[in-house]
Amino acid sequence: MHSDTERCVRAVQSRDARFDGWFFTAVLSTGIYCRPSCPVVPPKARNMRFYPSAAAAQHAGFRACKRCRPDASPGSPQWNERADLVGRAMRLIADGVVDTGGVPALAARLGYSVRQVERQLRAELGAGPLALARAQRAQTARVLIETSALPMTEVAMAAGFGSIRTFNDTVREVFALSPTDLRRRATGQAGQAGQAGQAGPVSGGLTVRLPFRAPFAPDNVFGHLAATAVPGVEEWRAGAYRRSVRLPNGPGVVSLRPGQDHVRCDLSLTDLRDVSVAISRCRRLLDLDADPVAVDDLLAADPVLAPLVRRTPGRRVPRTVDGDEMAVRAVLGQQVSTQAARTHAARLVLAHGEPITDDGGGLTHLFPDVAALAGIDPETLAFPRSRRATLLGLVAALPRIDLSPGGDWRAAREDLAALPGIGPWTVETIAMRALGDPDAFVGSDLGIRVAAQSLGLPTAPAALSTRAAAWRPWRSYAVQYLWATGDHPINFLPA
């Protein structure tokens, strides 16, 4: 996108918010970089330069615009759509891998050498993994500065900076303000459009606004998460979806509430160093970096789906904060109702989950990790013997199957399909919700087959999958529109 100068200039001159996050506009005459929808008068085309990432603009010596907050743009939808090295690397960087283990850890997770990873990222994004992680740390620092009363020393450590000096230098370089000035400015402008959160004292908690590209239909994504919520781990309370999360430095609780132009995210964390990772996982859970216009344009070209898209545009794919958890829950949901799957999962949580304290609600546990599930006594599982064997086989295999944001979609599918009791429905459910593949398709799902029958589509899984080829590469989103034809609770916000 950033290399198509004419298209980028048109997007900037029309202040097209759809392209926020796709590219960044640097202005030679002012030395700043902006998002395409910046409200200021567009600069002359000859003074514009375009970069594929905020890190690349920063590396070229430009500082962030104080009006449009380009560092707080929605993420590029490319990183949720692409399964190649660069896409996987960007998802892992967002998940904090570079901050916790450095570039060698990133390369090891990807299965490439450090040199190959550096070369690929620089070629496509104009910046290496360290610069990309640094840009993310700068954004985290800004969130903490503007939304909390933490001392600057604690902000620096929580954002992942190794020293106060590096923290101060980075903030000044990126935002052209000292950390103190940034907080003072945010406090004076609280409540204005574009503000990342509301300033106020916190202790392990803060509120962040998560932007998204319009249109956004909250009913299906929040409705799905609420209808399938595992008691003790997830809940719908006072208009918000809440759940416990396992983070690198300790457990946390996130609360997500849909708004008109953002999702309000309340975080209660054991360790504020997990802020960036928690935000990234919440965005991924709600699929907030999607490009709904591109998705809906393609799906609406099909006369069968067009009325569904027109009725409620902007449906998202409900994903997960933990790939292993979603894989276990997919097996528990095989050939049973939503309520039965919740009951089975709740029993596992009570028996093997790690207890937590939730002062703001009724959450009691983290979902059990693979290590905790490895010691399950199959006789304690209240479902058929064949499904017990499937669950135990999956748990034994999960340590060698990468279902993280940086996982290889093709390899993970092959590994899952090779396990006894794991069929196409389970593989595609995990691919859609855990791996985040936008083109997964659960053609054998009962709800999909019922929808197909009502719409005059083939109902046999093979024939339906053939018909669904026209919806590539957005078949995961087509699933959401097909599900929406029914009256299941997953399609509606709870009262």
Contact 424, 461 (CB under 8 A): yes
How open is the CA angle 85-89-93, to the nearest 5 degrees?
175
Catalytic-role residue among 71, 287, 296, 445: 445
CB of 492 closer than 8 Å to CB of 219: yes
Active-site residue among 8, 20, 34, 265?
34
How far, in Å, CA of 407 to CA of 95, rounded?
A: 12
Strand-strand pairing, 262-269 and 205-211 = antiparallel
Is 445 one of the catalytic residues?
yes
Q: Distance between CA 84 and CA 65 in Å, rounded?
A: 31
Between CA 203 and CA 212 the distance in angstroms is 27
The contacts of residue 401 (CB under 8 Å, 6+ apart) are: 327, 407, 412, 415, 416
Check if the beta carbon of residue 210 is closer than 8 Å to that of residue 265. Answer: yes
Report d(CA 342, CA 234) in Å as an integer: 10
Residue type for position 48: M
Euclidean distance between the first and final Cα of the chain, in Å?
42
| Coil/strand/helix, residue 369 | coil
Helix or strand run (H / E) with residue 48? strand 48-51
CA distances for 259 relative to 209, 222, 256, 406, angstroms = 9, 12, 10, 29
Distance CA 257, CA 285 (A): 13
Residue 8 falls in the annotated catalytic set: no
Catalytic positions, please? 34, 445
